[in-house]
């Protein structure tokens, strides 16, 4: 390990453990192919294969420790409610127990059951029983023809743009407070007002695109922090179909699409860079992400990298929500900044919010404070190793760094150390380029990208 975070010397990159494991398996005389398949809505799936030590040859626990982390990663990258395991009865039994009620991964199973509205299951299969690859194709033509509304629902402000044949004729940003309002009518009224305002600046509405934080399946709101305070008894009736119902007020047949804001950020980056295979990572309250594939399209994956494990150290920081350790949220968010600063001896005033603590460290960094600079350098080291791990699942050419953690000098330090780490440790990934977009392109530009999501009927 060439680069060690000075404020977190026990950091153990999963990608290095995986590489070491693969080298060891490659030399084994008793090994077998393991096939993992995650299935989600409409039969779409993600397949992953690797060689593992044969069952009952003394390496069962070593197999499990690696494979369990891979399955967890796949689940939060691609999503799914059904996992097929072929090639190892031992791993099947361990994983089935993990994702059962009372198991180590019960949180993950319940979350996915809610998202996909299906019971979560782990199935043992023979190789021939594993479904063939069935990828979702969300074609993004980046079509800005006609009269379009692009709406971007952020956690602190909402943005809307009226676009006519690619030209923005009106745009606005309005502060709102979706995360602290329990009445879904608050959200509905704000969204309606934004879209109606945009519509008033055009002769008609041909298409509507929405960028919104959360998980969306078939334009339905499955999970979203914007509706955090809405009671469960109101969620299904008032929230799940909210965007569908609002768009229908503009016309029953209007083409529209709702996409995760991370995916739309990646799409905006694709439009700016005029390229494909872009992973956008937003480091803020949590770690959000989006991806455009080799064809410049979205994949239908969750891309919830906050829950993807990046650190193999079993004593690493616990994510309070999922109860798991070593997940991205504690490395690529304001929590990561706070964790490293405190590890370096910095003491915050007890009444500060996490956002205020982040600003304090950023202010110190801008003033040249050595500890603050080390914090962002260490996050860069985290990122360099983690991008090499993400590259096991994503075909990457570009990484777009977004979010408040990357603001100011800190973003440059993160990029600098991520490049050093990735390029030195993994020369096969030197083609992956890191980008820090200008602030202006992170704002209304996302609403414009959202406007391009739906295709006009020909």
The pLDDT score that the predictor gives to residue 271 is: 82
| 118 vs 418: CA distance, rounded Å | 39
The pLDDT score that the predictor gives to residue 444 is: 58
Same domain, 180 and 290: no
pLDDT at residue 443 is higher than 60: no
- When pLDDT is averaged across residues 11-26 and rounded to a whole number, the result is 98
Residue with tokens 């330090």: 413
Tokens of 249: 């007020």
pLDDT at residue 439 is higher than 60: no
Our measurement of the distance from residue 231's CA atom to the centroid of its chain's CA atoms, rounded to an integer in Å, reads 25
| 265 vs 267: CA distance, rounded Å | 5
Same domain, 209 and 119: no
Same domain, 384 and 249: no
- When pLDDT is averaged across residues 307-333 and rounded to a whole number, the result is 95
Same domain, 155 and 257: yes
Tokens of 235: 């969620």
Residue 457 lies in a domain: no
Query: How many domains does the chain contain in total?
Result: 3
Residue 139 lies in a domain: no
Tokens of 272: 């700016």
What domain range includes position 392?
268-311+323-444
Q: What is the pLDDT of residues 390-421, one digit of tens each?
A: 999 999 999 999 888 998 899 999 999 999 99
- When pLDDT is averaged across residues 7-33 and rounded to a whole number, the result is 98
3-state DSSP call for residue 259? strand
Residue 456 lies in a domain: no
The pLDDT score that the predictor gives to residue 442 is: 46
DSSP 415: H
Q: How many residues does the chain have?
A: 458
The pLDDT score that the predictor gives to residue 141 is: 67
Same domain, 230 and 285: no
- When pLDDT is averaged across residues 75-86 and rounded to a whole number, the result is 98
- Band of residue 448 on the pLDDT scale cut at 50, 70, 90: confident
Our measurement of the distance from residue 279's CA atom to the centroid of its chain's CA atoms, rounded to an integer in Å, reads 9
| Nearest alpha-carbon partner for 283 in 386, 388, 374 | 386
Tokens of 90: 């031992």
The pLDDT score that the predictor gives to residue 167 is: 92
- When pLDDT is averaged across residues 422-438 and rounded to a whole number, the result is 94
The pLDDT score that the predictor gives to residue 193 is: 98
Same domain, 284 and 379: yes
Kind and range of the H or E run holding 446: helix 444-451
Same domain, 299 and 413: yes
Same domain, 249 and 272: no
Same domain, 168 and 296: no
Same domain, 223 and 288: no
Let me know the angle formed at the C-alpha of 245 by 244 and 247, rounded to the nearest 5 degrees: 65
Same domain, 86 and 219: no
- Average pLDDT over the chain, rounded to an integer: 93
3-state DSSP call for residue 223? strand
The pLDDT score that the predictor gives to residue 231 is: 94
Let me know the angle formed at the C-alpha of 429 by 427 and 435, rounded to the nearest 5 degrees: 125
Same domain, 259 and 303: no
pLDDT at residue 129 is higher than 80: yes
């Amino acid at each position: 390990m060439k680069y060690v975070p000075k404020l977190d010397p026990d950091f153990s990159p999963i990608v290095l453990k995986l590489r070491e494991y693969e080298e060891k398996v490659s030399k084994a005389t008793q090994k077998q192919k393991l096939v993992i398949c995650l299935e989600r809505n409409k039969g779409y799936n993600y397949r992953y294969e690797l060689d593992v030590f044969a069952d009952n040859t003394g390496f069962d626990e070593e197999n499990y420790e690696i494979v369990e982390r891979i399955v967890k990663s796949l689940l939060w990258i691609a999503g799914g409610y059904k996992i097929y395991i072929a090639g190892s009865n031992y791993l099947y039994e361990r994983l089935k127990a993990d994702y059962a009620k009372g198991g180590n991964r019960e949180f993950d199973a319940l979350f996915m059951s809610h998202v996909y509205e299906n019971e979560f299951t782990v199935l043992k299969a023979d190789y021939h029983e594993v479904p063939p690859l069935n990828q979702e194709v969300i074609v993004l033509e980046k079509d800005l023809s006609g009269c379009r509304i692009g709406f971007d629902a952020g956690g602190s402000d909402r943005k809307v743009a009226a676009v006519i044949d690619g030209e923005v004729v009106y745009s606005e940003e309005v502060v709102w407070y979706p995360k602290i309002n329990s009445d879904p009518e608050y959200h509905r009224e704000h969204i309606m007002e934004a879209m109606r305002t945009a519509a008033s600046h055009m002769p008609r509405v041909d298409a509507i695109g929405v960028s919104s934080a959360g998980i969306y399946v078939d334009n339905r709101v499955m999970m979203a922090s914007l509706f955090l305070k809405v009671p469960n008894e109101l969620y299904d009736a008032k929230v799940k179909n909210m965007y569908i119902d609002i768009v229908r007020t503009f016309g029953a047949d209007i083409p529209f699409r709702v996409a995760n804001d991370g995916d739309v950020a990646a799409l905006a980056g694709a439009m700016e860079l005029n390229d494909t295979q872009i992973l956008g990572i937003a480091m803020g309250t949590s770690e959000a992400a989006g991806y455009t594939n080799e064809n410049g399209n979205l994949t239908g994956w969750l891309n919830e990298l906050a829950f993807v494990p990046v650190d193999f150290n079993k004593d690493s920081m616990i994510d309070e929500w999922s109860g798991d350790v070593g997940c991205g949220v504690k490395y690529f968010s304001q929590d990561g900044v706070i964790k490293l600063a405190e590890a370096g001896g910095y003491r915050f005033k007890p009444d500060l919010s996490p956002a205020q603590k982040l600003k304090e460290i950023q202010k110190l960094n801008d003033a040249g404070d050595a500890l603050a600079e080390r914090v962002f350098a260490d996050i860069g080291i985290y990122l360099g190793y983690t991008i090499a791990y993400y590259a096991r699942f994503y075909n990457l050419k570009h990484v777009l760094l977004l979010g408040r953690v990357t603001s100011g000098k800190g973003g440059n330090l993160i990029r600098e150390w991520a490049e050093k780490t990735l390029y030195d440790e993994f020369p096969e990934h030197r083609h992956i380029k890191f980008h820090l977009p200008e602030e202006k392109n992170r704002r209304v530009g996302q609403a414009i990208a959202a406007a391009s999501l739906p295709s006009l009927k020909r």
